[in-house]
Amino acid sequence: MENISANGNASDKLGVLIVGLGGAVASTFVIGSLSVRKGYSKPIGSISQLSEISIKKGSEITEPKIKDIIPITSLNDLVFGGWDIFPESVYEAAIHAEVLSKEDIEKVADEAKAIKPMPGAFDQEFVKRLNGTHVKGTTNKWELVQLIIEDIRSFKKENNLDRIVILWAASTEIYVPMSEVHMDIASLEKAMKENSPEIAPSMCYAYAAINEGIPFINGAPALTVDMPALIDFSLKNKVAICGKDFKTGQTMMKTVLSPMLKTRMLGLNGWFSTNILGNRDGEVLDDPDSFKTKEVSKLSVIDTILEPKKYPELYGDIYHKVRINYYPPRKDNKEGWDNIDLFGWMGYPMQLKVDFLCRDSILAAPLCLDLVLFTDLAQRCGSYGIQTWLSFYFKSPMHEMGKNPEHDLFTQNAIMRNKLRSFIGAEPLDALV
């Protein structure tokens, strides 16, 4: 099935520009995608590649795979590139990250060695634990925007691309609260030209993407694109945007366990979460200012799902604590430990403990693939601005001002599938079908 629009069709070449190309998540995503399309491995964890979807036509329901019925781009038509503040190729970055075995990396070594990052837009004030060596020769925000735009145009021309999606998979920036400069595009542009400290490098990438009509995905918890100025700009330029913060390990568990408590009307006194992580992300989050950004994202989940104002006797006095600890020996193999103090009939206390020994980048890589394909699909099908239907993939989903985001993983899944059905004119189905 083909979906043709002014922006191209599903069979055209799609550029995937990744900010943070040399990080563990990005290199795992790219190496894995190259491996899957060569037939060396399976796209485990990718809904776009493996999952079926129920399609109703009259009284009949069929269950084709999503990739066979929804007009998403083939993995064979993806062209990878991006930016990083370190010069290593995707091959070198994957070797350094130690997420994948050298044997798996070597299978696609020729292609991976050829994918090298463009110099990154970098300001150490926003990522204090990293010292970039492969950076653009200015920290002026407006100049950085212009250089990013030049990069985008060059990449598109050199690779003869029809479309591009930009994905932020770089480190978490320090916490930047929303202010007046983020309220409208004129104020944002003025702040960029004046090199305001309220403008982070990630905002420069987001602005450049939207300016060029390119979908932008924010995989980190920073403000980045989640502001009135860039949301309005995306609607004006007919661009799909989504984010923020990939939902992988511990928070994914919270979006499963919290609905369980609420569905059974079980009470909650406290939820203590701690993580140990040894990769570059763990090192960056060891800085309190960067951790603040992540903490805000992680803490938002429980209250939204449990609705304490509606159920004060069950959820009106929850103590919720989140900790992330940098522990180099663990590398990318994160451990997320949760202690949950709940109560049941007549107020009697119980405990639930979860120890999730996960692989951060292994969980994030298929999310990157799905988000690239689905965001590109949305824009081709005329869905612009915030893609709330992609909340399934994010810890702190972008949403319309004045509305609460949906956090329940299963409700998010139902919403996402109905949106996919809408793109091909199929009937919506409830969560039970």
> For position 6, what pLDDT does the model report?
39
Classify burial at 266, counting beta carbons within 10 Å of its beta carbon; exposed 0-12, middle 13-18, buried 19 or more. Answer: middle
> For position 4, what pLDDT does the model report?
38
| Mean pLDDT (whole number) for 35-63 | 95
What is the residue type of 322?
V
Say what the alpha-carbon torsion angle 396, 175, 357, 337 is, to the nearest 10 degrees: -90
Contacts of 355 (CB under 8 A, 6+ apart): 335, 336, 337, 338
The boundaries of every CATH 3.30.360.10 domain in the chain are 250-357
| Mean pLDDT (whole number) for 12-22 | 96
Residue 168 CA to residue 281 CA, distance in Å, equals 13
Quick: pLDDT tens for 262-302. 999 999 999 999 988 887 666 666 667 666 665 665 667 88
> For position 137, what pLDDT does the model report?
94
Classify burial at 339, counting beta carbons within 10 Å of its beta carbon; exposed 0-12, middle 13-18, buried 19 or more. Answer: middle
Q: Give the range among 277-291, 342-356, 403-417 with minimum mean pLDDT.
A: 277-291
Q: When comparing pLDDT for 228 and 302, which is higher?
A: 228
| Mean pLDDT (whole number) for 88-97 | 96
pLDDT at 432 over 60: no
> For position 249, what pLDDT does the model report?
83
pLDDT at 5 over 60: no
Quick: pLDDT tens for 66-85. 999 999 999 999 999 999 99
> For position 433, what pLDDT does the model report?
42
The CATH homologous superfamily to which domain 250-357 belongs is Dihydrodipicolinate Reductase; domain 2 (3.30.360.10)
Residue 232 structure tokens:
């309005």
> For position 15, what pLDDT does the model report?
98
> For position 35, what pLDDT does the model report?
98
Q: How far is CA 232 from the centre of its chain?
A: 20
> For position 240, what pLDDT does the model report?
98
pLDDT at 94 over 70: yes
| Mean pLDDT (whole number) for 309-338 | 91
- What is the average pLDDT score of the chain? 92
> For position 282, what pLDDT does the model report?
66
pLDDT at 2 over 90: no
> Which residue carries 């998979």 as its tokens?
169
The boundaries of every CATH 3.40.50.720 domain in the chain are 14-246+361-423
Q: Which helix (H) or strand (E) holds 235?
A: helix 228-236
What Å distances lie between residue 349 and 226, 259, 269, 309, 310, CA to CA?
39, 19, 9, 22, 21
Residue 258 CA to residue 70 CA, distance in Å, equals 31
Residue 399 CA to residue 405 CA, distance in Å, equals 6
Arch. (CATH architecture) of 14-246+361-423: 3-Layer(aba) Sandwich (3.40)
Quick: pLDDT tens for 129-152. 888 899 999 989 999 999 999 999
Dihedral sign for Cα atoms in the order 105, 80, 146, 185: negative
- DSSP characters over 57-93: ETTEEE--BHHHHS-PPPGGGEEEEEEESS---HHHH
> For position 1, what pLDDT does the model report?
34
Q: When comparing pLDDT for 241 and 125, which is higher?
A: 241
What Å distances lie between residue 259 and 152, 199, 306, 332, 431, CA to CA?
42, 37, 7, 28, 14
> For position 27, what pLDDT does the model report?
97
Quick: pLDDT tens for 372-388. 999 999 999 999 999 99
Residue 172, Ramachandran bin (φ over 0: left; ψ between -120 and 50: alpha; else beta): beta
Contacts of 243 (CB under 8 A, 6+ apart): 168, 217, 218, 219, 220, 224, 225, 226, 394, 396, 397, 398
267 strand-pairing partners: 343
Residue 250 structure tokens:
């511990």
> For position 39, what pLDDT does the model report?
97
DSSP letter for 346, please.
Answer: G
Q: Do 374 and 415 touch, CB atoms closer than 8 A?
A: no
Classify burial at 184, counting beta carbons within 10 Å of its beta carbon; exposed 0-12, middle 13-18, buried 19 or more. Answer: middle
Give the residue among 70, 15, 66 at the shortest CA–CA distance from 43.
66
| Mean pLDDT (whole number) for 424-431 | 87
144-155 per-residue burial string, b: 16 or more CB within 10 A, e: under 16:
bbebbbebbeeb
How far from each other are the two terminal CA atoms of the chain, in whole angstroms?
Answer: 23
| Residues written for the chain | 433
Q: Do 300 and 396 touch, CB atoms closer than 8 A?
A: yes
Q: Do 381 and 235 touch, CB atoms closer than 8 A?
A: no
| Mean pLDDT (whole number) for 117-123 | 96
> For position 59, what pLDDT does the model report?
85
Q: Sorting pLDDT into bands at 50, 70 and 90, what band is 7? A: very low
pLDDT at 195 over 60: yes
pLDDT at 8 over 90: no
